[in-house]
């Protein structure tokens, strides 16, 4: 039976735990053995250190008798034991980790993960996985555990890494066989790595899917924050410049602006058209004030820029509003409160499935793995027009990159 592992990678986003839960449960229901990888690609490279024994337990609350799965309980939920007590502390985040990163999980291990924010499996930026040596080690670690199917939940960089890993996999298998690290039988059994990607990102910055997992929650957080800011802005008749996340993508800024009736929005893809953005913004805000508005809200995406590609910073916008319009102006940078916290219903549902609903993303990921052959491309699971879709991962990545390239070339209509 297929042994599949799921990992989360890159910046966390609300709904990643719902993905892991859905993949694990769908995998078990479809007869697979299920594993999670801790700390993203870093965990793949580190693998399971020799000599570290894991207690094999039968899940104590195994009420789902129809699910024939032993269940390995590791208390992954709070990362309190396994993750934190070890003496080695060479992890990039400075946290200490015990030597077991690729962990067998059962039904009960992911119970309740639906509503928890962030990623309980952990995520890390792995320098090692960017090297061929690191990826060779990762391949060896997976084969040692008998795993040849991987679900990666992350942004475009993480999904590109997954596709590279899959493309190079046969080379790694050959090298490992030649070195005698794996047997010829293992080389034959694990000749093909099955990979599928799910897009976890608050920025909604991936092409070929209408929505990334975590985007709706972050947008909701921003709207709530702006609602709060608005009441105090109204009281004092002030202007607020609110900086929101979105290094390369203005989706959060744009939609937050639309849903809160902001006066002006700066996003990377569509800079103000006037030669001077200062003039354009001031003219608009002046008009709004003359119409009787007591408060002013300007939203600036982290990656906002003018049409010459010079960055537009919240502090600069504040100075312009103060100096030219005489507005009492404050800056609020929302930062990581946008990214953390419990997922909203849509992110939970999109990531998984519900009874009598069509297949949603986590379940479709397992289907795609089960149907994967050496000839099929690595797929990305997305959503389009309300339908769950399966699109070639690298096509989606290439289209996403072409947007950044168009911006860099100042071709804003194309972007």
* Closer residue to ligand F6P in complex, CB, 203/263: 203
413 is catalytic: no
**Nearest distance in Å: CB 146, ligand F6P:** 33
> Which of 163, 203, 243, 269 contacts ligand F6P by CB under 6 A?
203
Distance between CA atoms of residues 347 and 216, nearest Å: 7
**Nearest distance in Å: CB 272, ligand F6P:** 21
> Which of 302, 362, 365, 396 contacts ligand F6P by CB under 6 A?
302
User: Per CB under 6 A, which of residues 309..368 are in contact with ligand F6P?
Assistant: 339
User: Per CB under 6 A, which of residues 49..88 are in contact with ligand F6P?
Assistant: none
Distance between CA atoms of residues 313 and 302, nearest Å: 8
**Nearest distance in Å: CB 155, ligand F6P:** 7
Structure tokens at 94: 């400075």
* 64 annotated as a binding-site residue: no
> Which of 85, 236, 247, 294 contacts ligand F6P by CB under 6 A?
247
Look at residues 193, 44, 49, 50 and name the one whose alpha carbon lies nearest to residue 123.
Answer: 44
> Which of 11, 40, 216, 343 contacts ligand F6P by CB under 6 A?
11
Sheet with 3-8: list strands edge to edge: 102-104, 33-37, 3-8, 149-154, 194-199, 379-384, 387-392
DSSP state of 113: G
Distance between CA atoms of residues 362 and 107, nearest Å: 15
* 158 annotated as a binding-site residue: yes
* Distance (Å) of CA 44 to CA 100, 177, 237, 374, 406: 10, 19, 54, 22, 34
* 135 annotated as a binding-site residue: no
Per rule CB under 6 A, is residue 201 in the interface with ligand F6P?
yes
Structure tokens at 209: 């899917």
How many residues bind to ligand F6P according to rule CB under 6 A?
9
Number of Cβ within 10 Å of residue 300's Cβ equals 27
Per rule CB under 6 A, is residue 137 in the interface with ligand F6P?
no
Per rule CB under 6 A, is residue 245 in the interface with ligand F6P?
yes
- Identify the active-site residue in 12, 69, 203, 205: 203
* Closer residue to ligand F6P in complex, CB, 309/337: 337
Largest CA distance in the chain: 79
- State phi, psi for 287 to the nearest 5 degrees: -60, -45
Looking at the annotation, which residues are catalytic? 203
> Using CB under 6 A as the criterion, which residues of the chain lie in contact with ligand F6P when the complex forms?
11, 201-203, 245-247, 302, 339
Annotated binding site for substrate: 201-203, 238, 245-247, 302, 330, 336-339
């Amino acid at each position: 039976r297929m042994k599949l592992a799921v990992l989360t990678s890159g910046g966390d986003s609300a709904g990643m735990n719902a993905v892991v839960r859905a993949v694990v449960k769908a995998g078990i229901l479809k007869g697979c053995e299920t594993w999670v990888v801790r700390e993203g690609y870093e965990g793949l490279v580190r693998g399971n250190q020799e000599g570290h024994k894991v207690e094999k337990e039968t899940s104590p609350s195994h009420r789902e008798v129809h699910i024939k799965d032993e269940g390995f309980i590791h208390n992954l939920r709070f990362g309190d034991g396994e993750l934190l007590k070890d003496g080695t502390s060479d992890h990039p985040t400075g946290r200490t980790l015990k030597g077991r990163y690729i962990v067998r999980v059962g039904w009960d291990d992911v119970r309740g993960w639906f509503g928890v924010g962030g990623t309980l499996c952990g995520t890390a930026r792995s320098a090692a996985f960017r090297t061929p040596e690191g990826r060779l080690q990762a391949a060896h670690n997976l084969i040692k555990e008998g795993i040849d199917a991987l679900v990666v939940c992350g942004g475009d960089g993480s999904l590109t890494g997954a596709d590279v890993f899959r493309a190079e996999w046969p080379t790694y298998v050959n090298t490992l066989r030649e070195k005698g690290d794996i047997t010829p039988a293992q080389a034959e059994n694990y000749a093909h790595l099955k990979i599928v990607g799910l897009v976890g990102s608050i920025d909604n910055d991936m092409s070929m899917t209408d929505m990334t997992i975590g985007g709706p929650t972050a947008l909701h957080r921003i709207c709530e924050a702006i609602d709060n800011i608005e009441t105090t802005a109204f009281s004092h008749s002030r202007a607020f410049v609110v900086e929101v996340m979105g290094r390369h993508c203005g989706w959060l800024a744009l939609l937050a602006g639309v849903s809160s009736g902001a006066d002006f929005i700066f996003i990377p893809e569509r800079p103000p058209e006037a030669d001077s953005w200062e003039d354009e913004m001031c003219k608009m805000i002046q008009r709004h004030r003359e119409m009787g508005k007591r408060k002013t809200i300007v939203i600036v995406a982290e990656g906002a820029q003018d049409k010459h590609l010079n960055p537009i910073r919240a502090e600069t916008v504040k100075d312009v509003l103060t100096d030219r319009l005489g507005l009492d102006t404050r800056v609020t940078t929302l930062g990581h409160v946008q990214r953390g916290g419990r997922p909203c219903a849509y992110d939970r549902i999109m990531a998984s499935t519900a009874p009598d609903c069509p297949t949603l993303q986590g379940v479709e990921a397992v289907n795609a793995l089960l149907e994967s052959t050496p000839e099929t491309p690595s797929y990305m699971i997305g959503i389009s027009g309300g339908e769950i879709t399966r699109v070639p991962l690298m096509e989606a990545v290439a289209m996403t990159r072409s947007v950044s390239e168009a911006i860099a070339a100042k071709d804003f209509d194309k972007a």
